[in-house]
């Protein structure tokens, strides 16, 4: 998996910082997560191919998480996109996007498929043979979901030396990868485990922004490899966490620890702080493996 942070600052776009948006490259899918104003320019700056984006996940309808969506949809149209585009987000998103298309008399040539979310329970919203995506209901001022991206267990890998030693027909390789025993050229049964290696452990990534401190979500994100958790404030502004339903770096780290995740990435920083390293300093004593998101930063895991 490769995660590219397009924007990770809260509230308003500024000269050198962008509101929330990220791209997750997972098993040949390019998932766009949130789409603040300016996302399409950030996609260009980070040389991400527009046509590879087929699924967009919107956490909630605060502007810093979706005001760039209508422009991106419109740009896809101007680029003569033909591929379907799936959009997952809170109810209301379809109305606001289609109203703007109606007013501009600019309908997309490609198919725009809205998957409007209303459930307060986690649900499976995307699945194919390689990946599944679940919502993570979050506690915020408006209806909000995080998203959990899980790779499925992949195919077994051929141990080529063993395969050649056993003299197995190429036509059987596919079956081997799928875990079956096969016959070799001499007509002998070859046990799958003797010529294949187990698949790589499937990875998982949880995106949690925006949210108040909330232990309810821990069971959903338990043991994920990487957790992006918002840390809008530092503990010294804990009162603002309460009123705005955001988290501090310490709270994010506490969730990471309790959920036993592999790595924590912080983001959604309030622009009141000049130095984002303070967020890391606050989180590290509670959860050691913590990184700071920043616009343009890439995480591979």
Binding site for a copy of itself (CB under 8 A): 11-15, 37-38, 40-41, 44-45, 61-63, 67-68, 70-71, 74-75, 78, 90, 92-93, 95-96, 99-100, 103-106, 141-142
Active-site residue (options: 64, 129, 275, 294):
64
Written as six digits, the tokens of 165 are 């030693």
Using CA atoms, how far residue 266 sits from 8, 187, 226, 247, 250, in Å, is: 9, 57, 11, 10, 10
Q: Which residue lies nearer to a copy of itself by CB, 117 or 168?
A: 117
Query: Minimal distance in Å, beta carbon 79 to a copy of itself?
Result: 8
Candidates 54, 60, 67, 63; CA nearest to 136 is 60
Cα–chain-centroid distance for residue 274?
Answer: 27
Q: Is the peptide bond before 210 cis (omega within 30 degrees of 0)?
A: yes
Q: How far is the CB of 151 from a copy of itself (least distance, A)?
A: 32
To the query of whether residue 64 is one of the catalytic residues in this protein, the response is yes
Question: Is 90 or 146 the residue whose CB approaches a copy of itself more closely?
Answer: 90
State the sign of the Cα–Cα–Cα–Cα dihedral 131, 29, 89, 87.
Answer: negative
Rounded to a whole number of angstroms, the minimum distance from the CB of residue 289 to a copy of itself is 33
Alpha-carbon distance of 77 to 66, in angstroms, equals: 18
Q: Which is nearer to a copy of itself, 45 or 152 (CB)?
A: 45
Q: Give the shortest CB-141-to-a copy of itself separation in angstroms.
A: 7
Our CB check for a copy of itself shows the closer of 38 and 166 to be 38
Positions marked catalytic: 64
């Amino acid at each position: 998996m490769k995660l590219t942070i397009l924007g990770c600052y809260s509230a308003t776009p500024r000269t050198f910082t962008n509101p929330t948006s990220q791209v997750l490259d997972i098993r040949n899918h390019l998932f766009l997560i949130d789409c603040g104003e300016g996302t399409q320019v950030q996609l260009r700056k980070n040389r991400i191919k527009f046509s590879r984006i087929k699924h967009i996940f919107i956490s909630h309808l605060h502007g810093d998480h979706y005001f760039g969506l209508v422009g991106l949809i419109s740009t896809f149209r101007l680029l003569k996109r033909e591929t379907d585009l799936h959009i997952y987000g809170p109810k209301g998103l379809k109305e606001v996007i289609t109203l703007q298309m109606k007013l501009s008399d600019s309908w997309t040539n490609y198919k725009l498929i809205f998957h409007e979310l209303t459930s307060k329970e986690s649900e499976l919203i995307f699945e194919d043979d390689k990946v599944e995506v679940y919502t993570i209901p979050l506690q915020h001022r408006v209806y909000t979901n995080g998203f959990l991206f899980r790779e499925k267990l992949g195919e077994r890998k051929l141990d080529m030396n063993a395969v050649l030693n056993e003299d197995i027909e190429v036509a059987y390789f596919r079956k081997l990868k799928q875990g079956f025993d096969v016959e070799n050229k001499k007509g002998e049964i070859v046990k799958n485990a003797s010529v294949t290696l187990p698949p790589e452990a499937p990875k998982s990534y949880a995106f949690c922004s925006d949210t108040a401190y909330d232990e309810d979500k821990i069971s959903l994100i338990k043991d994920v490899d990487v957790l992006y958790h918002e840390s809008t404030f530092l503990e010294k502004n804990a009162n603002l966490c309460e009123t705005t339903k955001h988290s501090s770096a310490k709270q994010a780290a506490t969730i990471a620890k309790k959920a036993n995740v592999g790595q924590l990435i912080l983001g959604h920083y309030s622009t009141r702080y000049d130095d984002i390293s303070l967020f890391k300093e606050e989180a590290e004593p509670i959860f050691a493996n913590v990184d700071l998101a920043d616009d343009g930063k890439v995480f591979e895991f």
